[in-house]
Structure 1
Amino acid sequence: MRLALFQPDIPQNLGAAIRLAACLGVPLDVIEPCGFPLSDAAIRRAAMDYGDLAQVTRHAGWRDFRAKSAPSRRLVLFTTRGATPLHDFAFGPEDTLLFGRESAGVPDDVHDAADARVVIPLAPGARSLNVVTAATLALGEGLRQIKAFPRLQRTDSPA
């Protein structure tokens, strides 16, 4: 399973996504251009002390991402225009979970390229979640379904 961010707008969200990916052992794809200057140094800064744990791949754009994605990977777009609720979606180990820009989601061509479109149901009146909050929910459910959460490592002695 992989996490992909399409042209993120907010550097703090990228930092949180890097930390999320590092903590869950999931590779992160960043599809540029971003809404802020992005460099390898900026990624290291955003990753804080998780940089060594994170596997981040930068893509120059949508075409570059698609060209480098394995054809066996299913592209699962999370969108408010999704057809399948998160709790009804069956994840697979080769899925790439794609999240759009905080300000605009993804353009129609990216929406149309997705193999599946998933929506996270929200309470009435709520419009959307923060992109990394949504990614956390989605990755958590996907990793649970495919039984791929990192193994628990005890740091304390048993009582």
Structure 2
Amino acid sequence: MFHIVLHAPEIPNNTGNIGRTVAVTGGVLHLIHPLGFDIDEKAVRRAGLDYWHKLDVREYSDFETYLRKANPQRLFLFTAKAGGTPWETELRPGDHLLFGGESQGVPDGVLETVKSRFGAEALLKLPMLEGARRPSLNLGSTVCTAVYEGVRQNFGEFGIPLE
């Protein structure tokens, strides 16, 4: 199982979609504030997230609080500023996969903290065609791709049937 960490997510539909991915792979969803939406019971019910109560969702006021309380042993930050990819990296059950908000990514301070604490190899990206006006990948798509690459690498440990 993977720990999916969203730093200041802005779009509720993306977080809902990511929650679904976390639910079907048995992971934990960590949300670092500020959030661009409410996740109280009324908001979750109104959004039709009938699986939300089955998720292990943990919230933190800021990145430092997350690091202190979650105490990740291995953490990978997905960022366009990275050199490596998840296909070149051994992802292991229990790893924390960190993703920034949709419009800003993570602040430079978070990126520097990850590099200093976990090494430059902890910065990963999903490769895309180069071009000045290319779109970026949707956050939910990026998380799903990363999680399922980790599942592929560790298939026997997840208990997900092939049929």
Out of 119, 126, 138, which is 1:120 matched to? 126
- Show structure 1 runs of 5+ residues with no match: 155-159
Instruction: Return the letter of the residue paired with 1:152.
Output: P
Q: Which SS does the other structure have where 1:143 is aligned?
A: helix
Per-residue Cα deviation, 1:117-158 (whole angstroms, up to 9, x for no partner): 00100123334211110000000011221223342286xxxx
**Residues 127 and 45 of structure 1: is their aligned pair in 2 closer, same or farther, counting only changes over 3 Å?**
same
Residue 92 of structure 1 corresponds to 92
Matched, 1:109 2:115: no
Contact 1:86 1:121 in 2 (8 A): no
- Show structure 2 runs of 5+ residues with no match: none
| TM-score where L is the length of structure 2 | 0.84
Residue 158 of structure 2 corresponds to 149
Instruction: Return the letter of the residue paired with 1:138.
Output: A
Instruction: Return the letter of the residue paired with 1:151.
Output: I
Contact 1:25 1:150 in 2 (8 A): no
Identity of aligned residues (%): 35
Query: Which structure's residues are more often helix, by fraction?
Result: 2
**Residues 131 and 110 of structure 1: is their aligned pair in 2 closer, same or farther, counting only changes over 3 Å?**
same
User: What are the within-5 Å matches in structure 2 for residues 28-47 of structure 1?
Assistant: 28-43=29-44, 45-46=46-47
Residue 138 of structure 1 corresponds to 146
Instruction: Return the letter of the residue paired with 1:122.
Output: M
Shift of 1:5: 0.4
**Residues 96 and 50 of structure 1: is their aligned pair in 2 closer, same or farther, counting only changes over 3 Å?**
same
